[in-house]
Structure 1
Amino acid sequence: MLAVNKALVKVAKLYRAAQADTLSALGLHPGQDVLLWTLGGAPDGMLISEIAAQLGVEQPTVTRSLSRLDQGGWFVREPVPGDRRATLVRLTAKGRAVIPAVEAAWRTLAETATGGMTDSDQERLLGLLETVRTNLLTVATDTE
Structure 2
Amino acid sequence: MNQHSELFHSINQTSRHYSKLLNEKLVPLGLYAAQWSIIFLLKRDGALSQKEISLYLGVEAPTMTRTLIRMEKSGWINRATGNDKREKMIQLTAASDNEYPKWINAVREAEEATLENVNEEEINGFLNTMKKLKNNLE
Q: Same fold judged by TM-score > 0.5? A: yes
Distance 1:53 1:7 in 2: 24
Gaps of 5+ in 2: none
Distance 1:97 1:57 in 2: 27
Instruction: For residues 73-121 of structure 1, give each alpha carbon's deviation from its aligned partner in whole angstroms, at most 9, with x where no partner exists.
Output: 11122223x6221222222111122333332222211211122x26xx3
Gaps of 5+ in 1: none
Q: Which residue of 2 aligns with 1:36?
A: 39
Q: Which residue of 2 aligns with 1:123?
A: 121
CA contact (8 A) 1:75 1:89 kept: yes
Percent identity, please: 27
Q: Which residue of 2 aligns with 1:53?
A: 55
CA contact (8 A) 1:37 1:99 kept: no
> Aligned to 2:16, what secondary structure does the other structure show?
helix
TM-score (norm 2): 0.72
Q: 1:131 to 1:72 in 2, by over 3 A?
A: same
Which structure has the bigger radius of gyration?
A: 1
CA contact (8 A) 1:46 1:90 kept: yes
Q: 1:125 to 1:77 in 2, by over 3 A?
A: closer
Instruction: For residues 20-69 of structure 1, give each alpha carbon's deviation from its aligned partner in whole angstroms, at most 9, with x where no partner exists.
Output: 101112211111001012222355x3221222233344433321220232
Q: Which amino acid is the alignment partner of residue 95 of structure 2?
A: K
TM-score (norm 1): 0.69
Q: What is the aligned residue count?
A: 135
Distance 2:81 2:12 in 1: 42
Runs of 4+ in 1 over 6 A off after TM superposition: none
**Which structure has the highest helix share of the two?**
2
CA contact (8 A) 2:25 2:106 kept: yes
Q: Which amino acid is the alignment partner of residue 84 of structure 2?
A: D
Q: Which amino acid is the alignment partner of residue 47 of structure 1?
A: S
Deviation at residue 135 of structure 1 after TM alignment: 5.5
